[in-house]
Structure 1
Amino acid sequence: MNRLNAVVALIVLTFANVGPSSARDSGSTRPQSVAGVFDYYLLALSWSPTYCLTHRDDAQCSGKGYGFVLHGLWPQYAQGGWPKSCAPRVKLSPQERAKGLMLFPSQKLLEHEWAKHGTCSGLGAIGYLEASDKALGAVRIPEQLQPLSSTHYFSARDITQMFRQSNPGMADDGIVVICNGPQLSEVRVCMDKNLAFASCGKGVKTQCRAGEIRVPPLR
């Protein structure tokens, strides 16, 4: 009986020592969210008519006739994932907010994107907004995807090809298409830290069904 008790005690002691250590080791491999520490950017362009199908009260959905709008410029890790909500979490000043509203379609989106993604750029608010403006200016929207007056249908492959044809130098693996059910939701373009076109990192993939997807018209 004493021998059995000793074995049980040894097993309990072993798990007590190994468990917490293993948890710390597994956690230590996860990148920390530190401002300025990332590998590349992901420029997310939302197709506003799809968003407005389910967000009719949003500021961007009040008959402004938007096509693609800036969702965000997101710092990314090459091996997958991204930093978020980096310290210091400084709110936008009135001047910075005014500048941001020239780029983002709503104040709510602007403030969310700055808090979650912009703080991790390491550029400060004005620097982040200027980088977002530069990234937007670097991407030419294909003629076929300018604001539409009627519903169109394209495959995700068609959409990526249109963007590459309109943007020489865009990498084959540097653009992905995101869908919301059967409809176009976003196009995301990968860029290096200098905002030149680049290949996407791990985990950035097209997320659409096979075949044609619906591209809703202006609202």
Structure 2
Amino acid sequence: MEPHNRSTSALVMASVLFCLGPAAWASVPTSGTLHAERDCEAFVSKKKKSNPDKAHLEPGDAYVILEVNRPNQPDWIRVRVEDANPPERWVEANCGRQSVSAATPVDDGQPEPETPIDPDDPSLCSTAGLQDSFKLALSWQPAFCESHRSKKECAVNFPATFQSAGNFTLHGLWPNRESCGINYGNCEHRRKPREFCDYPDLGLNPEVAKQLSQVMPGTASCLERHEWFKHGTCQVDWDMDQYYEVAMDLVRQFNGAGISKYMAANMGKQVSMEDFLQQVDNGLGPEARDRLQLSCSGGKLTDVLISLPAQIEPGASLGEMVRRAPPDFRSKCPSRFTIDAVGFSR
């Protein structure tokens, strides 16, 4: 009788699903990451198996999960394939390993209980789009080069016009997640190579690449590749070009708020921390200093990190974004520090 019972159960289940109709198979929005383990075709429509641009998953790469076709043991997963058009694609669930956060069924008009996300889940520290703030990381290039003289961007004959004019240079724009500390990053789970130039070329728009080489001298050592794969992959709002366009605009706003004039006027001189912080307040608004982190080496200012909110609107006022960011002042500098001049000290 046991086989008969199993057959009867299967018929009953089929009847139930038929009565429920398509809603029984409704897709489920989900957050998480698919770590591709094989080359899989990525479909616009899983039903029609349409793939107009022949998009595939690359083994070893990670993809943001958007939804699954059913909450329990899905056989189709919708992911974001950045180079595809459109980027939202369906792939078979067995294409890779899944790190999935909370899933919430499609809204059917009935309230659904929220599934809390475990803040200690380590997979969240490499899942894109979960930042709760940003950091704009700026370098004072002359001081950086004092301890990195072998870097191409620090060579004697390297053009130094941008930093000679008193401008801070771009180190990076970092999405942050407080519960991850400094470990929120690498959201494509790409193995870090020995040298930055061993990362794949980003294929930036030529005009963006040209501007970036000025604002970020580290491009001479492929810093932009490292910054994208470590930090840029953890935000989901911009492609590579847009990410660096936003970052460059923020750097220019900071320098243009009277900071570059102050730095140029004090190159080779010692200044008080209070005087420097007052310049930042004057340029970006009262209490902007409370959103800074300062680093020094050998009594010289080397880095400035600026706290920004979790969402950045391209073209928005840097001062306004700083005002909306959580206070997080820290300093590794003495009360008086030197603003190093271009060129190596003896």
Normalised to the residue count of structure 1, the TM-score between the two structures is 0.74
Instruction: Output the CA distance in 1 between the equivalents of 2:136 and 2:119.
Output: 30
CA separation of 1:97 and 1:183: change in aligned 2, threshold 3 A: farther
Instruction: Output the CA distance in 1 between the equivalents of 2:128 and 2:121.
Output: 18
Specify which of 174, 192, 205 is matched with residue 330 of structure 2: 205
Instruction: Output the CA distance in 1 between the equivalents of 2:269 and 2:180.
Output: 33
Instruction: Output the CA distance in 1 between the equivalents of 2:278 and 2:205.
Output: 36
CA separation of 1:29 and 1:111: change in aligned 2, threshold 3 A: closer
Letter in 2 for 1:118: G
Deviation of 1:98 after TM superposition, in Å, equals: 6.1
More relative contact order in 1 or in 2 (CA 8 Å, sep 6+)? 1
- Contact kept in structure 2, 1:154 and 1:214, CA below 8 Å: yes
- Contact kept in structure 1, 2:125 and 2:177, CA below 8 Å: no
- Contact kept in structure 1, 2:119 and 2:179, CA below 8 Å: no
Is it true that 1:136 corresponds to 2:251 in the alignment?
yes
Instruction: Output the CA distance in 1 between the equivalents of 2:284 and 2:278.
Output: 10
Deviation of 1:135 after TM superposition, in Å, equals: 1.8
Paired residues for 1:39-188 under 5 Å = 39-61=132-154, 62-65=158-161, 66=163, 67=166, 68-78=168-178, 81-82=181-182, 83-87=184-188, 89=190, 91-96=200-205, 99-103=208-212, 104-107=216-219, 108-122=222-236, 123-139=238-254, 140-142=257-259, 143-146=261-264, 150-168=267-285, 171-188=288-305
Instruction: Output the CA distance in 2 between the equivalents of 1:180 and 1:201.
Output: 24
Q: Which runs of 5+ in 2 are unaligned?
A: 1-117, 191-198, 314-320
CA separation of 1:35 and 1:170: change in aligned 2, threshold 3 A: farther
- Contact kept in structure 1, 2:134 and 2:176, CA below 8 Å: yes
Larger Rg: 2
- The secondary structure found in structure 1 opposite 2:126 is coil
- Contact kept in structure 1, 2:273 and 2:336, CA below 8 Å: yes
Deviation of 1:101 after TM superposition, in Å, equals: 4.9
- Contact kept in structure 1, 2:135 and 2:175, CA below 8 Å: yes
CA separation of 1:118 and 1:36: change in aligned 2, threshold 3 A: same
The match for 1:13 is none
Count residues in correspondence.
192
1:33-64, CA deviations, whole angstroms, 9 ceiling, x for partnerless residues?
21121011111110000011122232322251
CA separation of 1:27 and 1:42: change in aligned 2, threshold 3 A: closer
Instruction: Output the CA distance in 2 between the equivalents of 1:170 and 1:115.
Output: 33
Instruction: Output the CA distance in 1 between the equivalents of 2:148 and 2:279.
Output: 28
CA separation of 1:95 and 1:163: change in aligned 2, threshold 3 A: same
Instruction: Output the CA distance in 1 between the equivalents of 2:327 and 2:123.
Output: 16
The match for 1:19 is none
Q: CA RMSD in A?
A: 2.9
- Contact kept in structure 2, 1:100 and 1:110, CA below 8 Å: no
Instruction: Output the CA distance in 2 between the equivalents of 1:101 and 1:60.
Output: 15
Deviation of 1:84 after TM superposition, in Å, equals: 0.8
